[in-house]
Chain A
Amino acid sequence: MVDEQEKLLPIANVGRIMKLILPPSAKISKEAKQTIQECASEFISFVTGEASDKCHKENRKTVNGDDICWALSSLGFDDYAEAIVRYLHKYREHESERANYKQQTSKARNVTGRHDHEDKAEGDDDDDDEEGLCHTDSQRGKGTTSTCRRHPAPLEFRIIDRNETSPS
Protein backbone atom coordinates (compact mmCIF):
# COMPACT_ATOMS: atom_id res chain seq x y z
CA MET A 1 0.00 0.00 0.00
CA VAL A 2 2.68 2.47 1.00
CA ASP A 3 4.60 1.57 -2.13
CA GLU A 4 1.62 2.47 -4.27
CA GLN A 5 1.36 5.91 -2.74
CA GLU A 6 4.98 6.62 -3.52
CA LYS A 7 4.20 6.32 -7.21
CA LEU A 8 1.53 8.99 -6.98
CA LEU A 9 1.50 12.71 -6.38
CA PRO A 10 -0.17 13.70 -3.10
CA ILE A 11 -3.90 13.80 -3.59
CA ALA A 12 -4.21 17.01 -1.59
CA ASN A 13 -1.99 18.84 -4.08
CA VAL A 14 -3.85 17.38 -7.02
CA GLY A 15 -7.16 18.40 -5.49
CA ARG A 16 -5.93 21.93 -4.88
CA ILE A 17 -4.91 22.41 -8.49
CA MET A 18 -8.24 21.06 -9.65
CA LYS A 19 -10.20 23.41 -7.41
CA LEU A 20 -8.41 26.42 -8.83
CA ILE A 21 -9.78 25.57 -12.25
CA LEU A 22 -13.32 24.75 -11.22
CA PRO A 23 -16.09 27.15 -10.19
CA PRO A 24 -16.45 27.53 -6.41
CA SER A 25 -19.70 25.61 -6.34
CA ALA A 26 -18.27 22.59 -8.14
CA LYS A 27 -17.81 19.32 -6.31
CA ILE A 28 -15.29 16.62 -7.03
CA SER A 29 -15.85 12.98 -6.26
CA LYS A 30 -13.07 11.19 -4.43
CA GLU A 31 -12.79 8.67 -7.22
CA ALA A 32 -12.38 11.39 -9.81
CA LYS A 33 -9.56 12.94 -7.78
CA GLN A 34 -7.87 9.58 -7.48
CA THR A 35 -8.22 8.99 -11.19
CA ILE A 36 -6.61 12.30 -12.03
CA GLN A 37 -3.91 11.60 -9.47
CA GLU A 38 -3.10 8.36 -11.31
CA CYS A 39 -3.25 10.06 -14.69
CA ALA A 40 -0.71 12.63 -13.52
CA SER A 41 1.75 9.89 -12.59
CA GLU A 42 1.16 8.18 -15.88
CA PHE A 43 1.83 11.49 -17.59
CA ILE A 44 5.16 11.83 -15.82
CA SER A 45 6.17 8.27 -16.72
CA PHE A 46 5.07 8.69 -20.31
CA VAL A 47 6.97 11.92 -20.90
CA THR A 48 10.02 10.78 -18.94
CA GLY A 49 10.18 7.62 -21.01
CA GLU A 50 10.23 9.61 -24.20
CA ALA A 51 12.84 12.03 -22.86
CA SER A 52 14.95 9.17 -21.59
CA ASP A 53 14.87 7.43 -24.97
CA LYS A 54 16.17 10.56 -26.59
CA CYS A 55 19.03 10.81 -24.10
CA HIS A 56 19.85 7.21 -24.66
CA LYS A 57 20.02 7.66 -28.42
CA GLU A 58 22.28 10.67 -27.96
CA ASN A 59 24.49 8.82 -25.51
CA ARG A 60 23.69 11.17 -22.68
CA LYS A 61 23.16 9.98 -19.14
CA THR A 62 21.23 12.83 -17.62
CA VAL A 63 17.68 13.80 -18.47
CA ASN A 64 17.48 17.57 -18.28
CA GLY A 65 14.81 20.25 -18.60
CA ASP A 66 15.30 20.63 -22.35
CA ASP A 67 14.74 16.94 -22.87
CA ILE A 68 11.43 17.16 -21.05
CA CYS A 69 10.41 20.11 -23.23
CA TRP A 70 11.32 18.21 -26.33
CA ALA A 71 9.41 15.14 -25.19
CA LEU A 72 6.32 17.23 -24.43
CA SER A 73 6.38 18.63 -27.93
CA SER A 74 7.05 15.25 -29.47
CA LEU A 75 4.07 13.69 -27.71
CA GLY A 76 1.64 16.41 -28.77
CA PHE A 77 1.76 18.67 -25.72
CA ASP A 78 2.99 21.66 -27.70
CA ASP A 79 1.21 24.21 -25.54
CA TYR A 80 2.87 22.89 -22.43
CA ALA A 81 6.24 22.81 -24.16
CA GLU A 82 5.96 26.48 -25.08
CA ALA A 83 4.95 27.54 -21.60
CA ILE A 84 7.70 25.46 -20.06
CA VAL A 85 10.44 26.71 -22.33
CA ARG A 86 9.63 30.18 -21.01
CA TYR A 87 9.41 28.91 -17.43
CA LEU A 88 12.75 27.17 -17.74
CA HIS A 89 14.32 30.28 -19.22
CA LYS A 90 13.09 32.37 -16.31
CA TYR A 91 14.30 29.77 -13.86
CA ARG A 92 17.77 29.70 -15.37
CA GLU A 93 17.91 33.48 -15.49
CA HIS A 94 16.79 33.64 -11.92
CA GLU A 95 19.40 31.12 -10.85
CA SER A 96 22.22 32.99 -12.52
CA GLU A 97 21.05 36.29 -11.08
CA ARG A 98 20.90 34.79 -7.67
CA ALA A 99 24.49 33.78 -8.16
CA ASN A 100 25.34 37.29 -9.35
CA TYR A 101 23.49 38.87 -6.47
CA LYS A 102 25.42 36.79 -4.01
CA GLN A 103 28.61 37.85 -5.68
CA GLN A 104 27.60 41.48 -5.66
CA THR A 105 26.56 41.58 -2.05
CA SER A 106 29.77 39.95 -0.96
CA LYS A 107 31.67 42.51 -3.04
CA ALA A 108 29.63 45.33 -1.54
CA ARG A 109 30.65 44.38 1.94
CA ASN A 110 34.06 45.76 1.03
CA VAL A 111 32.70 49.07 -0.25
CA THR A 112 32.72 51.85 2.31
CA GLY A 113 30.11 54.58 1.88
CA ARG A 114 28.34 55.53 -1.29
CA HIS A 115 29.93 56.29 -4.56
CA ASP A 116 27.32 57.02 -7.20
CA HIS A 117 24.49 58.52 -5.30
CA GLU A 118 25.82 60.93 -2.76
CA ASP A 119 23.58 63.72 -3.93
CA LYS A 120 20.52 61.59 -4.24
CA ALA A 121 19.02 60.88 -0.91
CA GLU A 122 15.74 59.05 -1.22
CA GLY A 123 15.07 59.80 -4.82
CA ASP A 124 16.59 56.69 -6.21
CA ASP A 125 13.33 55.20 -7.30
CA ASP A 126 12.97 57.69 -10.14
CA ASP A 127 16.32 56.72 -11.39
CA ASP A 128 15.38 53.11 -11.30
CA ASP A 129 12.28 53.63 -13.37
CA GLU A 130 14.12 55.48 -16.05
CA GLU A 131 16.66 52.81 -16.36
CA GLY A 132 14.05 50.14 -16.55
CA LEU A 133 15.55 48.36 -13.61
CA CYS A 134 13.42 46.13 -11.54
CA HIS A 135 11.17 47.59 -8.91
CA THR A 136 12.34 47.46 -5.41
CA ASP A 137 11.19 49.34 -2.40
CA SER A 138 14.38 48.63 -0.60
CA GLN A 139 16.36 51.63 0.45
CA ARG A 140 18.88 49.61 2.26
CA GLY A 141 22.35 48.81 1.18
CA LYS A 142 23.16 52.09 -0.47
CA GLY A 143 26.40 51.87 -2.25
CA THR A 144 25.81 48.39 -3.50
CA THR A 145 25.35 47.79 -7.14
CA SER A 146 23.67 45.13 -9.13
CA THR A 147 23.03 44.56 -12.77
CA CYS A 148 19.38 43.93 -13.20
CA ARG A 149 17.04 43.70 -16.14
CA ARG A 150 13.35 44.36 -16.25
CA HIS A 151 11.49 41.44 -14.74
CA PRO A 152 8.14 40.49 -16.09
CA ALA A 153 7.32 38.46 -13.01
CA PRO A 154 7.32 39.87 -9.51
CA LEU A 155 10.21 38.65 -7.44
CA GLU A 156 9.97 37.67 -3.82
CA PHE A 157 13.52 38.49 -2.89
CA ARG A 158 14.94 41.97 -2.92
CA ILE A 159 17.43 42.96 -5.54
CA ILE A 160 19.24 46.11 -4.63
CA ASP A 161 19.74 47.85 -7.88
CA ARG A 162 21.63 51.00 -8.44
CA ASN A 163 22.86 52.60 -11.57
CA GLU A 164 26.16 50.93 -12.13
CA THR A 165 27.15 52.75 -15.24
CA SER A 166 27.26 56.37 -14.10
CA PRO A 167 30.76 57.55 -13.36
CA SER A 168 31.49 58.12 -9.72
Chain B
Amino acid sequence: MRQPGIYSGMLSGLSGKTGPHSLPLARIKKIMKKSGDDVKMISGEAPIVFSKACELFIEELTRRSWMMTMQGKRRTLQKDDVASAVAATDIFDFLVNLVTEPLNGDEDAPGGTDIIEH
Protein backbone atom coordinates (compact mmCIF):
# COMPACT_ATOMS: atom_id res chain seq x y z
CA MET B 1 0.00 0.00 0.00
CA ARG B 2 1.15 3.52 -0.52
CA GLN B 3 2.06 6.16 1.97
CA PRO B 4 -0.75 7.80 3.94
CA GLY B 5 -0.17 11.11 2.22
CA ILE B 6 -1.70 9.92 -0.97
CA TYR B 7 -4.87 8.98 0.83
CA SER B 8 -5.25 12.32 2.58
CA GLY B 9 -7.83 13.36 0.05
CA MET B 10 -6.60 16.88 -0.33
CA LEU B 11 -5.63 16.51 -3.92
CA SER B 12 -8.59 14.90 -5.52
CA GLY B 13 -11.27 17.22 -6.80
CA LEU B 14 -13.81 14.54 -6.06
CA SER B 15 -12.61 13.73 -2.60
CA GLY B 16 -15.36 13.27 -0.11
CA LYS B 17 -17.54 11.75 -2.79
CA THR B 18 -15.44 9.02 -4.27
CA GLY B 19 -12.52 8.82 -1.88
CA PRO B 20 -9.00 10.19 -2.17
CA HIS B 21 -8.40 8.80 -5.63
CA SER B 22 -11.34 7.82 -7.72
CA LEU B 23 -9.37 5.17 -9.54
CA PRO B 24 -7.18 2.37 -8.18
CA LEU B 25 -3.53 3.19 -8.66
CA ALA B 26 -2.35 -0.42 -8.93
CA ARG B 27 -4.76 -1.11 -11.77
CA ILE B 28 -3.66 2.03 -13.58
CA LYS B 29 -0.08 0.91 -13.26
CA LYS B 30 -0.95 -2.49 -14.74
CA ILE B 31 -2.65 -0.89 -17.71
CA MET B 32 0.34 1.37 -18.24
CA LYS B 33 2.71 -1.58 -18.22
CA LYS B 34 0.63 -3.44 -20.76
CA SER B 35 0.69 -0.51 -23.14
CA GLY B 36 4.07 -1.43 -24.50
CA ASP B 37 7.11 -3.61 -24.07
CA ASP B 38 9.40 -0.69 -23.55
CA VAL B 39 7.40 0.60 -20.61
CA LYS B 40 9.48 -0.86 -17.86
CA MET B 41 9.79 1.62 -15.04
CA ILE B 42 7.07 3.90 -13.85
CA SER B 43 7.56 6.55 -11.21
CA GLY B 44 5.25 6.67 -8.18
CA GLU B 45 3.64 9.85 -9.39
CA ALA B 46 2.62 8.58 -12.79
CA PRO B 47 -0.42 6.52 -11.71
CA ILE B 48 -1.52 9.42 -9.50
CA VAL B 49 -1.30 11.79 -12.45
CA PHE B 50 -3.28 9.31 -14.53
CA SER B 51 -5.96 8.90 -11.90
CA LYS B 52 -6.63 12.62 -12.31
CA ALA B 53 -6.24 12.56 -16.10
CA CYS B 54 -8.63 9.62 -16.47
CA GLU B 55 -11.14 11.37 -14.27
CA LEU B 56 -10.99 14.39 -16.58
CA PHE B 57 -11.17 12.15 -19.62
CA ILE B 58 -14.19 10.20 -18.38
CA GLU B 59 -15.88 13.46 -17.41
CA GLU B 60 -15.35 14.96 -20.84
CA LEU B 61 -16.38 11.88 -22.75
CA THR B 62 -19.47 11.52 -20.57
CA ARG B 63 -20.40 15.16 -21.01
CA ARG B 64 -20.07 15.00 -24.77
CA SER B 65 -21.93 11.71 -24.96
CA TRP B 66 -24.74 13.13 -22.88
CA MET B 67 -25.08 16.03 -25.32
CA MET B 68 -25.76 13.46 -28.01
CA THR B 69 -28.32 11.78 -25.76
CA MET B 70 -30.10 15.10 -25.25
CA GLN B 71 -30.04 15.81 -28.97
CA GLY B 72 -31.93 12.56 -29.41
CA LYS B 73 -34.36 13.74 -26.69
CA ARG B 74 -33.56 10.71 -24.57
CA ARG B 75 -32.63 10.30 -20.91
CA THR B 76 -30.57 7.15 -21.20
CA LEU B 77 -26.98 7.43 -22.31
CA GLN B 78 -26.37 4.71 -24.89
CA LYS B 79 -23.25 3.28 -26.46
CA ASP B 80 -24.12 5.01 -29.74
CA ASP B 81 -24.02 8.36 -27.98
CA VAL B 82 -20.46 7.61 -26.96
CA ALA B 83 -19.62 6.66 -30.55
CA SER B 84 -21.13 9.92 -31.81
CA ALA B 85 -19.20 11.94 -29.27
CA VAL B 86 -15.96 10.25 -30.29
CA ALA B 87 -16.64 10.89 -33.97
CA ALA B 88 -17.36 14.56 -33.27
CA THR B 89 -14.18 15.19 -31.26
CA ASP B 90 -10.78 15.39 -32.92
CA ILE B 91 -8.73 14.45 -29.90
CA PHE B 92 -10.79 11.30 -29.48
CA ASP B 93 -9.74 9.99 -32.90
CA PHE B 94 -7.68 7.28 -31.26
CA LEU B 95 -10.96 5.79 -29.98
CA VAL B 96 -12.77 5.55 -33.28
CA ASN B 97 -11.97 1.91 -33.91
CA LEU B 98 -12.76 0.99 -30.34
CA VAL B 99 -16.27 2.44 -30.31
CA THR B 100 -17.36 1.39 -33.75
CA GLU B 101 -16.08 -2.14 -33.47
CA PRO B 102 -18.98 -4.49 -34.01
CA LEU B 103 -19.75 -6.79 -31.10
CA ASN B 104 -19.07 -10.48 -31.63
CA GLY B 105 -22.33 -11.33 -29.96
CA ASP B 106 -20.55 -13.73 -27.60
CA GLU B 107 -21.11 -11.66 -24.52
CA ASP B 108 -24.30 -9.90 -25.42
CA ALA B 109 -27.54 -11.42 -26.54
CA PRO B 110 -27.72 -11.07 -30.31
CA GLY B 111 -29.93 -8.12 -31.11
CA GLY B 112 -30.60 -7.77 -27.39
CA THR B 113 -31.52 -4.51 -25.76
CA ASP B 114 -29.21 -2.66 -23.41
CA ILE B 115 -29.60 -3.31 -19.76
CA ILE B 116 -30.44 0.03 -18.26
CA GLU B 117 -29.10 0.80 -14.86
CA HIS B 118 -28.72 3.90 -12.86
Chain B interface size, under 10 / 10 to 19 / 20 to 34 / 35 or more: 35 or more
Q: Is A107 part of the contact surface with B, judged by Cβ < 8 Å?
A: no
Q: Is B1 part of the contact surface with A, judged by Cβ < 8 Å?
A: no
Contact B61 A36 (CB under 8 A): yes
| Contact partner, B118, options A26, A43, A62, A65, Cβ 8 Å | A26
Q: Is A2 part of the contact surface with B, judged by Cβ < 8 Å?
A: no
Contact B56 A83 (CB under 8 A): yes
Residues in A with CB closer than 8 Å to B43 are 62-65
Interface residues of B in 27-59 (CB under 8 A from A): 27-28, 30-32, 34-36, 38-43, 45-46, 48-50, 52-59
Contact digits for B58-79, partner A, Cβ 8 Å, 1 yes 0 no? 1101110110010000011111
Contact B82 A42 (CB under 8 A): no
Contact B30 A6 (CB under 8 A): yes
Across the A-B interface, how many residue pairs have beta carbons closer than 8 Å? 217
User: Given contacts A6-B30, A26-B77, A43-B54, are A91 and B11 in contact (CB under 8 A)?
Assistant: yes
Please report the C-alpha to C-alpha distance between residue A83 and residue B92 in the assembled complex, in whole angstroms.
19
Contact A46 B76 (CB under 8 A): no
Please report the C-alpha to C-alpha distance between residue A59 and residue B100 in the assembled complex, in whole angstroms.
37
Residue from B59, B62, B91, B95 whose CB has the most chain A CB atoms within 10 Å: B62
Residues in A with CB closer than 8 Å to B14 are 17, 20
Q: Is A31 part of the contact surface with B, judged by Cβ < 8 Å?
A: yes
Residues in B with CB closer than 8 Å to A76 are 90-91
User: Given contacts A13-B24, A63-B39, A156-B10, are A29 and B58 in contact (CB under 8 A)?
Assistant: no
Q: Is B102 part of the contact surface with A, judged by Cβ < 8 Å?
A: no
Contact B53 A48 (CB under 8 A): no
Contact B10 A32 (CB under 8 A): no
User: In the complex, how many angstroms separate the beta carbon of B113 from the nearest chain A beta carbon?
Assistant: 9
- By a beta-carbon cutoff of 8 Å, the part of chain B in contact with chain A is 3, 5, 8-11, 14, 17-18, 22-24, 27-28, 30-32, 34-36, 38-43, 45-46, 48-50, 52-59, 61-63, 65-66, 69, 75-79, 81-83, 86, 90-92, 94-95, 98-99, 108, 114-118
